[in-house]
Structure 1
Amino acid sequence: MTTTSAAHNKETYRRFHDALNGAADAPLIQKLIDDFVDPDLKLHTPLPLKSTGADSIKEVFQTLRRAYPDLHVAIEDLIAEDDKVVSRNTVTGTHLGEYLGMAPTGNTVTYKEIFVFRFADGRITEAWGVVDVLSQLRQLGAMPGGIPGGS
């Protein structure tokens, strides 16, 4: 894989990320995922998902947007090498909808995540994610050790 390919993958991911960050309605999010993600995506996360392939990413965004309608993902670092792009992010949102069985709290949460995306033919074909769910749960008051609204 050339440096040009890595740069192209990085730019493709940035376009995908920026479009998703600005999308609030489910049909647009689904279209964006269809445009940028391979239908047979392999998603490696510990999330309890009911779907597979690109539908798993749709399920994640549907769950997050329902829970945090003002969800915003800020890229802190974006690194590309060969066929992979790594994004270290800070996620913020206000808990206004059901999330992991919890009723809305109105709390604002801020948490970190890191994702590695593998590209083939200009599309995301595989993804690995590490998300600080413990921090989320503490800020929502579901786990001891945190102050609601703090990180």
Structure 2
Amino acid sequence: MEEQVNPKTGMTLGEMKSFIRGHFEDFVNRKNIDVADVNFAPDFVDHGADVPPGLPPGPAGAKKYVGGAYKRFPDIRVEIEDMVAEDDKVVVRNHWTGTEAASQQRLEFRGIVIWRVADRRIVERWAYLEAPHPAA
């Protein structure tokens, strides 16, 4: 049976998963900060427990937040361990690694991120991340 395009997202569930996988790869692993202007909706809202207060809305806030992660962990990498898509959301369980610039200590953490997609763009994010700890 052929996957149906969801009118809310403009994508099938498989396309949404590919979109989010590509987003992590470009935005985090390739450090392409400008992909935020393409992938995030202008009215993007980040509800993540990890997000500091005072970030601007939309792609600018995402760029500021992830740009800070690039500075703290210049070699930051994320690996997707699980991904589930339903309706207009994609849930990802992931594993992050990086060397903290200040301490030169190799750290890791895991997280769960929920993305809501509308019109082929990310409109909302909820994230729950462990505190970084020494890598095993």
| TM-score interval, normalised by the smaller of the two chains | 0.7 to 0.9
- For residues 1-151 of structure 1, the aligned pairs below 5 Å read 3-4=4-5, 5-24=12-31, 28-29=32-33, 31-46=34-49, 47-50=51-54, 51-96=56-101, 104-133=102-131, 136=132, 139=133, 149-150=134-135
TM-score (norm 1): 0.77
CA contact (8 A) 2:97 2:135 kept: no
Give unmatched runs, 5+ long, in structure 2. 6-11
Distance in 1, matches of 2:113 and 2:71, equals 21
State the percentage of identical aligned residues: 29
- Number of corresponding residues: 126
Normalising by structure 2, report the TM-score: 0.84
Supply the RMSD in Å over aligned alpha carbons: 1.6
The structure 1 segments of at least 4 consecutive aligned residues displaced by more than 3 Å after TM superposition are none
Q: Which runs of 5+ in 1 are unaligned?
A: 97-103, 140-148
Higher helix share: 1
